[in-house]
A = this chain, B = another copy of it.
Amino acid sequence: MSIGVCYFPEHWPRDRWEEDVQEMADAGLEYVRMGEFAWSRIEPQRGEFDLEWLEAAVDLVGEYGMQAVLCTPTATPPKWLVDERPEILQEEADGTVRDYGSRRHYCFNSPAYREETRRIVSKLANHFADNPYVTGWQTDNEFGCHGTVRCYCDDCATEFRDWLRDRYDSINDLNETWGTTFWSQHLTGFHEIDPPRETPAGHHPSRLLEYHRFASDSVVAYNRLQADILREHNDEWFVTHNFMGQFPDLDAFDVAEDLDLVSWDSYPTGSVQAKENPTVDEYRAGDPRQVGLSHDLYRGALGKPFWVMEQQPGDINWPPHSPQPAEGAMRLWAHHAVAHGGDAVMYFRWRRCREGQEQYHAGLRKQDGSPDRGHADASRAAEELFDLEPVDAPVALLHRYDDLWATSIQPHSPDFDYWDHVGTYYRALRRRGVQVDVIPPDRDPSGYAAVVAPSLHLVADDLADRLESYVAEGGHLLCGIRTGEKDPYNKLPDAPQPGPLADLLGATVDRHETLPADFETRVTYDGDTYDYRTWAERFDPDGATVRGEHTGAVDGTPAIVENEQGAGSAIWSGVWPGADLADALVESLLVRADVERTPVLPDGVAVAERDGYVWVTNFTGSPVSVDLPAGTEWIVGSNPIDGFDVGVTDAGLGAITVDTD
């Protein structure tokens, strides 16, 4: 396991570099990421390249025994380029141009920008092709950040038309597939298609879904363009991209197919502020379930260890509030990442930057170059962490961006949120320390003891067949609301929900509804009564056993069913469960699938097993106690585990109990 750092030598005097690099090496760091956003230093004017400085920095890193990860600088085309070719800028749905002045000011579908990208990436790849200290490349930076996946410019219009021409036999095939009779939306040719610009009322949901897919595919193609050039120059380099948490607009699974390594940027005290009412502890260290879901998503993307390419190093500038992280939080996050299958944790950045948009963002070092708290945390993590096999997760959680997009296009309630709903099930699994692979539903689930599919919304026959086989062969499946409601093109099938999954789940949906918070929303499950929220389906069982029922005005209407099929079983919840119901549903699944687990863990405490070791990471400010069985020991830390501290033991997951005092 490795600790690394992101470094911007171009921000500092050249005579400081060696001191910096030496201190990195002294701190036990192994990787240094460089070159990001550096286009205007690499090519100050068109055709005048200066790669000497970057090469010198790479060599210095190598000389001190570390390896360099380089970045393509395409997230920030320089002003001279924008002025020469202003058509690379994006346009918003209302026609507003997104101008130069920050970053990500280019359209993925701009032929001009693709040409410029080929030019600069080739230049860099060629220059460093034989450099022994460059181990791999990061393409661009955080694709889609600041809402830049979806553009509405004329280049996008042209590409969207071609993309559709490839997917449909004819315009009539498209008319039929989308269903364009509604509101007179028939098209007479692909030339009539535009991006979904500003309109009086809402767009056609099939058109929107296809535009979301197209926009994501545009990024995939743009990334592939870079990956291909890099590999042409040196096929031993790894190619990675640094994704962003639970980012909704870009299909990370699709991008990952062109990568050797998946990485993501983790800012726990920033992302937690997207939650409704973070606790003070969460403001100080983040929510381990929220961070863990991203770890497991990006581990799931390629089914192998991931990197944290940017790890929060201290206080940061971009969330609403900027509290100081708790003492030790920067070390805690590194352990947590490794426990979830991370193989490297790269802190962002070496030193607080004195200029530009991120001056209020800490580094491992302060603005004057002296060590900040992150420096001590990073070097301690580097010392404590050791090499490990990949995570072997017993449970898969199915996630698909198409379902996210379709349900976001028609949320049917201001309170519906795809990730929040997925998170309800994820949290229940993680509250018992179970490792979870987040994978797309088109992947073979047969290796997993249990599969949780919160919202398989768009369902075609092949998916239904795959899940039927899984269950028939002994798999255990848990499905949630909105399952099987639509076909893959966001159209209602003739058959009632869950469409092709009706046989497997043993029931259909009679009707559904969304309810504001002031409604009483309760169901029974196995004799107890539980709260649910926002969404309710009323089932017509057809073969399944009723396990839960609605209460109140429609008392006794089936709400949760279970269907045994072959050697396995399927549970289907027609409500968005509260935490207690999610726990009951998940526990029942884990019992049936015989998955090793802990008793319910305290909020804010995460337990995870990797390669025979168990991590107990305490994201709360209060100590917790963990008694180990005889013959096992603490590898890192000891009992009790202090607030914001970590323990690593060789005791098995099933032997672990965590208590608050």
Chain A residues close to B by CB (< 8 Å): 8, 10-11, 37-41, 44-45, 73, 76-80, 83, 90, 94-105, 145-148, 178-188, 192, 194, 196-207, 277, 280, 283, 314-315, 317, 320-324, 326, 352-360, 366-368, 372, 410, 412-414, 486, 491-496, 511, 513-516, 518-519, 553, 621
Contacts and interface: CB of A to CB of B under 8 A. Distances in A.
Contacts of A41: 181, 184, 186
Contacts of A206: 355-356
Contact of A181 (B10, B99, B493, B621): B10
Contact of A184 (B37, B203, B280, B353): B37
A359 B205 contact: yes
A150 to B, nearest CB: 12
17 contacts: A11-B181, A40-B184, A44-B188, A78-B186, A79-B185, A96-B198, A98-B198, A101-B194, A101-B207, A102-B201, A182-B358, A201-B357, A277-B518, A320-B413, A323-B514, A368-B494, A553-B621
Contacts of A101: 194, 196-197, 199, 203-204, 207
Given A199-B102, A355-B182, A496 B323 contact: no
Contacts of A621: 553
Nearest to A355: B179
A493 B200 contact: no
Contacts of A196: 101
B513 A324 contact: yes
A188 B73 CA distance: 18
Contact of A80 (B79, B181, B188, B367): B188
Nearest to A83: B192
B94 A96 contact: yes
Given A78-B184, A101-B203, A180-B356, 19 more contacts: A40-B184, A73-B184, A80-B188, A103-B200, A145-B200, A179-B356, A180-B355, A181-B355, A202-B357, A205-B357, A315-B513, A317-B412, A321-B413, A321-B414, A322-B412, A322-B413, A355-B491, A368-B494, A368-B496
A511 B76 contact: no
A519 B280 contact: yes
A323 B413 CA distance: 10
B99 A197 contact: yes
Given A280-B518, A317-B412, A491 B199 contact: no
A71 to B, nearest CB: 12
B183 A356 contact: yes
A184 to B, nearest CB: 4
Contact of A90 (B10, B200, B323, B324): B200
Please give the count of copies of this chain that the complex contains: 3
B182 A356 contact: yes
A587 to B, nearest CB: 31
A227 to B, nearest CB: 22
A240 B186 CA distance: 27
B205 A356 contact: yes
**In the A-B complex, the 3 residue pairs with the closest CB atoms:** A179-B355, A182-B356, A102-B201
Nearest to A538: B324
Nearest to A535: B322
Contacts of A326: 553
Contacts of A79: 185-188, 192
Q: Chain A interface secondary structure, helix, strand, loop or mixed? A: loop
A559 to B, nearest CB: 14
A202 B102 contact: yes
A249 to B, nearest CB: 13
B99 A97 contact: no
Nearest to A93: B99
Contacts of A410: 317, 359-360
Given A96-B95, A102-B199, A513-B315, A492 B184 contact: no
Contacts of A184: 37-41, 73, 76-78, 103
Nearest to A360: B412
A195 to B, nearest CB: 9
Contacts of A323: 513-515, 519
A499 to B, nearest CB: 11
Nearest to A42: B184
A551 B98 CA distance: 46
Contacts of A78: 184-186
A20 to B, nearest CB: 14
Contacts of A353: 182, 492
Contact of A182 (B11, B104, B182, B192): B11
A320 B516 contact: yes
Nearest to A45: B188
Nearest to A487: B354
B148 A200 contact: yes
B96 A146 contact: no
Contacts of A105: 199-200
Given A323-B514, A355-B178, A146 B185 contact: no
A184 B36 CA distance: 9
B492 A355 contact: yes
A53 to B, nearest CB: 11
Contacts of A513: 315, 322-324
B96 A203 contact: no
A426 B199 CA distance: 36
A202 to B, nearest CB: 5
A352 B103 contact: no
A463 to B, nearest CB: 19
A78 B38 CA distance: 48
A86 B205 CA distance: 23
Contacts of A414: 320-321
